[in-house]
Structure 1
Amino acid sequence: MDAKDLATFEAVARLGGMGRAARELNTVQSNVTQRVRRLEEALGVSLFERSRTGARLTPAGERLMPYATRVDALLDEAGRAARDDGAPRGTLTIGSLETTAALRLSPLLASYVHAHPGVDFVLRTGTTAEMVERVLGRELEGAFVCGPVVHPQLVAGPAFTEELALLSAPTEKTLAAALRRPDLRLVILRAGCSYRQRLEELLARRGVVGLRRLEFGTLEAILGAVAAGLGITLMPRALIGPAWRGGQIRAHRLPAAEAQVQTVFVRRRDMLPSSALLAFQKHVTKGQTK
């Protein structure tokens, strides 16, 4: 069993067929079939159930798949590490909460890219759960997520501190009045959003449970729904400055223990940070002290 055999196995499993894997690997199907058979012989198990429509993983193949994916990622990391001479260059892929990207990252990214023109920066956004999963899966070098994060495979460090506010339509003069509405609903992002979880916990402490939910895919849609009186949400106060000052939304202050939330930057503990990532983290820290 070698790395090429595992890479071939991973391609067949991911694409569902020997022919499709051969096209991706730029080789002939017989080479793919030979490598898979050699791997099966070395392990003493059948890895695929073959049919005229393709190849499907056996239970043994499903158990092997995570290791094949990990080896492929490690080989890619090894190549990047060997080529990394200390000068920030190459592709840097970072994840972030949508709120953090909107509030904090635009000026930092602009100055970072200007300072390090050899870096091709890629930013992915999503929920805390999505970003953590993608860091663990080595798809991202690191990500800004809602803290605290405690995981044996991750290193987490403080990045930003936000003040959260409960948002309602402008007609709700007080937080208590907003929570007394008989048709109250939560206006939230999809599952895995850390602010969604915090909102539900905040309301539960006040005896408000079992509310119906309205899920939206963007921050703009959530703010629009709240302004229209469809429900309440929880967001960083600074994010809704223009809407709040313009009277489109009412921002209700929360006790400090509930309002303060820390955004942390997470990366894999066993993954050597690239020079591009180290420069980015230094740039973020420097930007915070200005």
Structure 2
Amino acid sequence: MDSTDLAFFSAVAVAGGIGRAASELNTVQSNVTSHIRALEMKLGVRLFYRSKKGVVLTSVGNTLLPYATRIADLLTEARKAVTEAGPRGDLRIGSMETTAALRLPPILRSYAAQYPDVDIKIETGPTSALIDLVLARKLDGAFVCGPLVHEDIVSIPILEEELVLVTPPSVQTRLQLKKYLSQTAGRKVIVFRAGCSYRRRIQELLAQHGTVDIRWMEMGTLDGIIGCVAASLGISLLPRAVIKSFAEAGQVRGHALRGESGKAMTVFIHRRDAFVSSALQCFMERALQLSLSPGSETASLRKASKA
């Protein structure tokens, strides 16, 4: 098989039509058609069902598509490996909302100052979604909640967060908290969308208190979650560092959790078999140097990274 034929095949599969693929590839339809036919002849199979509305992959075409995508990724990585002369180009980084809100700004400021030729693109989301994007090679790396063990992923410990149960400021003592949790009528657990690791943790925590009839309210932003808790709409589970300024202002209150339920490790992940560009390598080194934590000691992060 020819890699160019595979590239044209992938473009048609994604675009859903010969004409749309030709437009994206900046070529003529006849050129696209000839590459597809050449590939079908070499393989001796039909890859598309054709109609006036466009094309649809056959079962064989669906089988071939991930291999064609992987080959294109490998060629791109090979080109980068032999041609890059230092950190430059695009760097696609994923992050949990909580990490992006507090921990990322120092790293991005320092990194951008030293490597101005790198264009960093940040995508936020829940841990499970970020893992899927890294596995699909749509992100070069991501900050997610650990620990994480996966045969296709390298996981680097970054720092340990203290998680607290976040309530309205009127809930002050542990006895008041217990009473508050038992009175669930009209109250909700305010979380990020499904796939958030903190969501699973608070569900387990409430189950331990006998609270199983949980009503969820999903919010897309950290400020939205904190604002709803401050308005006495419900409770949440967040890193203490994230709510610190809000707690000091008397808007919310953070309640310490006992044992391991109050700890969460933030890790940086990337695909084990992916080419680690100099841009990504320098980014990971900068993350370790700065600890992703304002005012924290570098030594504490290095200790965690060796754990």
Are 1:58 and 2:63 counterparts? no
Question: 1:228 Cα deviation (Å)?
Answer: 1.2
Structure 2 equivalent of residue 155 of structure 1:
154
Question: 1:21 Cα deviation (Å)?
Answer: 0.3
Q: Relative to structure 2, which stretch is displaced further, 271-280 or 259-268?
A: 271-280
Question: 1:265 Cα deviation (Å)?
Answer: 0.6
Contact 1:185–1:213, Cα closer than 8 Å, also in 2: yes
Distance in 2, matches of 1:68 and 1:92, equals: 23
Aligned pairs for 1:185-264 (under 5 A) are 185-264=188-267
* Structure-2-length-normalised TM-score: 0.90
The partner residue of 1:179 within 170, 178, 181 is 181
Structure 1 equivalent of residue 281 of structure 2:
278
Are 1:138 and 2:140 counterparts? no
Distance in 1, matches of 2:113 and 2:259, equals: 37
Distance in 2, matches of 1:208 and 1:82, equals: 57
Distance in 1, matches of 2:74 and 2:67, equals: 10
Distance in 2, matches of 1:243 and 1:103, equals: 13
Distance in 1, matches of 2:208 and 2:68, equals: 45
Contact 1:47–1:60, Cα closer than 8 Å, also in 2: yes
Distance in 1, matches of 2:211 and 2:284, equals: 40
Structure 2 equivalent of residue 266 of structure 1:
269
Question: 1:155 Cα deviation (Å)?
Answer: 0.5
Structure 2 unpaired stretches of 5+: 292-296, 299-307
Across the two proteins, how many residue pairs are aligned to each other?
A: 289
Distance in 2, matches of 1:89 and 1:35, equals: 33
Structure 1 equivalent of residue 16 of structure 2:
16
* Structure-1-length-normalised TM-score: 0.95
Question: 1:196 Cα deviation (Å)?
Answer: 0.8
Distance in 1, matches of 2:14 and 2:142, equals: 26
User: Which residue identity does 1:270 align to in structure 2?
Assistant: D
Structure 1 equivalent of residue 3 of structure 2:
3
Structure 2 equivalent of residue 98 of structure 1:
97
Distance in 1, matches of 2:231 and 2:221, equals: 16
Aligned pairs for 1:41-80 (under 5 A) are 41-80=41-80
Question: 1:167 Cα deviation (Å)?
Answer: 0.8
Distance in 1, matches of 2:203 and 2:54, equals: 45
Question: 1:206 Cα deviation (Å)?
Answer: 2.3
Distance in 2, matches of 1:219 and 1:125, equals: 11
Deviations 1:219-266 (A, max 9, x none): 111111111111111100110112111111121111131111100010
Question: 1:8 Cα deviation (Å)?
Answer: 0.7
Contact 1:163–1:237, Cα closer than 8 Å, also in 2: yes
Question: 1:171 Cα deviation (Å)?
Answer: 2.5
**Share of identical aligned residues, percent?**
50
Deviations 1:38-63 (A, max 9, x none): 21222222111111011111111111
Q: CA RMSD in A?
A: 1.4
SS of the aligned residue for 1:191 comes to coil
Question: 1:190 Cα deviation (Å)?
Answer: 0.7
Contact 1:168–1:178, Cα closer than 8 Å, also in 2: no
Contact 1:93–1:121, Cα closer than 8 Å, also in 2: yes
